[in-house]
Structure 1
Amino acid sequence: MATPDAKPPGEVLIVTGMSGAGRTTAANALEDLDWYVVDNLPPQMLRPLLELTEFAGEALPKVAAVVDVRGRDLFRELPAVAQSLRGGRQLRVLFLDASDEVLVRRFESVRRPHPLQGEGTILDGIRRERERVAIIRESADVIVDTTNLNIHQLATRIVDLFSEDGAARHTVTVMSFGFKYGLPTDVDLVADMRFLPNPFWIPELKAHTGEEKPVRDYVLSQTGAVEFIDAYALALRPVLEGYQRENKRHSVVAVGCTGGKHRSVVTALELADRLADVPGVAVRVKHRDLGRE
């Protein structure tokens, strides 16, 4: 029995709808939003899943279960099961739909049969499925028609519907590195700060890093340093905004100097500070080679 100060159970989302309407894309987008997603779950397993979420507490605050006709005859129980679970739970049903013509085209493009096609045509399978899901569609909390949406637009729609208010839609990591240790392999954009004088050759700065004020002051006092950082941050704003529109959830901006200890570290920190106010973006800083000899 729940204690008086126990937190309410987490949110549960049932993802269902027409085969080919984008359930996989929706599930992937929900995972990117930190939902715990279970695919192809029989309706009868929903109650044990909800009991698990109650037991797990904050470890599973948001759970999405993809339930569809792949469950065969078990799928017919979904309306009754969903209705019985609504009492006392924050439970919603997302129904994905698309026109018959588009669904046929999508199945033909991947050269896979419809799960209810049998010995008939793809359209026969779609019509059988529509009959089975009609009652579920009528009671769905959210209906998304994907007829005119590509996978990126659908993912963006899911993010709009199910992300928490104020949650970041994109995370950018600003990484400093040293060219002498090689280019990072997992980056999207690279900036080269070797056009600035190297503090390594200043005896009183050599042993310090770009995280320390003397090195920061020296680097930022050099001709072109602040101008470059300001201009680069300004140029990155539409890039980060575009990443959000295309539902690209993560990116890495690498900033390099010779050893990854002075100029690139200062620049990475300054750049991250300027990008922190881009709407919908969370900024992280990583110094790949700081501390290496």
Structure 2
Amino acid sequence: MAEATHRESGEVLIVTGMSGAGRSTAANALEDLGWYVVDNLPPQMLRPLLDLTELAAGVLPRVAVVVDVRGRDLFSDLPEAMRALRERRQIRLLFLDASDDVLVRRFEAVRRPHPLQGDGTIIDGIRLERDRLAAMRESADVILDTSSYNIHQLATQVSDLFTAVDAARHSLTVLSFGFKYGLPPDADMVADMRFLPNPFWNEELRALTGEDADVRDFVFAQEGAKEFIDAYSTALRPVLEGYQRENKRHSVVAVGCTGGKHRSVVMARELAERLSTVSGVAVRVKHRDLGRE
């Protein structure tokens, strides 16, 4: 009954995060998906807006609210407002982040000051904002690090995350990657496939990828490969079920090998296939480094 009430009341997504991390791009992407987007709303107005969504669920089935430090002193009320509202409704929180050096470059590129820097520097404003946002980042349902994204890639990522997916209560991304290009910053869990022999050193397989049957056969012929995927997929099932009970709507399982081309691709695909049978979970596969040289 409670779940039906949430659907009738419409979905509510709070979008916040670091200035310069792409809130405007995310808001535009959500609007393109059919969400009703409210920008720069003071936290004190969240409850009246929530009342409105319940009165007009048929007209406003999906509402996204951008709340950020442009609200100045009003923003300090956001954590308390979120706690109160979550006791009443299921509300998701998207937190957009990026590394300090990337944020500095973005502010310098547009020649605008950070909203909190005052008489200090851009980095002073960034550090102050991180302090103010720490509690919100901790309570976020989805943390999206945009450091390596351009605006088109960010819009695609937001679209992937928040396009309606049937009745799924949890969206799982299984992401293959190469350790030599760095860990995915938004990974909730990381699995290391470098315990398996690398197909790269096999001349017949080097030019192929983990999407080719010959590479898949090679990987699963190795000692420990099948045992690992059996155990890991079994171990993740109760995790995904627990995420649903705790209303965590999205997670990323990253599967890595050296270059992100062979072993991690094979294992990510196999893991996604096995976890797609978990009730209430929508699974997708992404290969971060497959096209790199």
After TM superposition, the score normalised by the length of structure 2 is 0.54
C-alpha contact (below 8 Å) 1:15/1:65 kept by paired residues: yes
- 1:151 maps to what in 2? 151
- The code of the aligned residue for 1:157 comes to Q
| SS of residue matched to 2:21 | coil
C-alpha contact (below 8 Å) 2:6/2:89 kept by paired residues: no
Instruction: Return the offset for 1:88.
Output: 3.8
C-alpha contact (below 8 Å) 1:43/1:74 kept by paired residues: yes
- 2:38 maps to what in 1? 38
| SS of residue matched to 1:132 | helix
Question: Following superposition of structure 1 onto structure 2, how do residues 131-150 of structure 1 map, counting pairs within 5 Å?
Answer: 131-150=131-150
- 2:81 maps to what in 1? 81
Distance 1:50 1:128, change over 3 A: same
Confirm whether residue 130 of structure 1 aligns to residue 130 of structure 2: yes
| SS of residue matched to 1:21 | coil
Distance 2:32 2:117 in 1: 32
Give a deviation string over 1:152-174, Cα, whole Å, max 9, x none: 111011001000127xxxxxxxx
Give a deviation string over 1:136-184, Cα, whole Å, max 9, x none: 1011110000000111111011001000127xxxxxxxxxxxxxxxxxx
Give a deviation string over 1:56-97, Cα, whole Å, max 9, x none: 121000000000000001101111101110124221000000
Instruction: Return the offset for 1:44.
Output: 0.5
How many percent of aligned residue pairs carry the same amino acid?
72
- 1:103 maps to what in 2? 103
The root-mean-square deviation of aligned C-alpha atoms, in Å, is 1.9
Confirm whether residue 17 of structure 1 aligns to residue 21 of structure 2: no
Query: Paired residues, what number?
Result: 164
Question: Following superposition of structure 1 onto structure 2, how do residues 172-251 of structure 1 map, counting pairs within 5 Å?
Answer: none
After TM superposition, the score normalised by the length of structure 1 is 0.54
Which stretch of the first structure deviates more once superposed, 81-90 or 149-158?
Answer: 81-90
- 1:208 maps to what in 2? none
Distance 1:130 1:62 in 2: 28
Distance 1:31 1:7, change over 3 A: closer
Distance 1:108 1:164, change over 3 A: same
Give a deviation string over 1:190-237, Cα, whole Å, max 9, x none: xxxxxxxxxxxxxxxxxxxxxxxxxxxxxxxxxxxxxxxxxxxxxxxx
Confirm whether residue 120 of structure 1 aligns to residue 120 of structure 2: yes
Distance 2:120 2:156 in 1: 35
Q: Which runs of 5+ in 2 are unaligned?
A: 167-293
Distance 1:7 1:112, change over 3 A: closer
- 1:94 maps to what in 2? 94
| SS of residue matched to 2:117 | coil
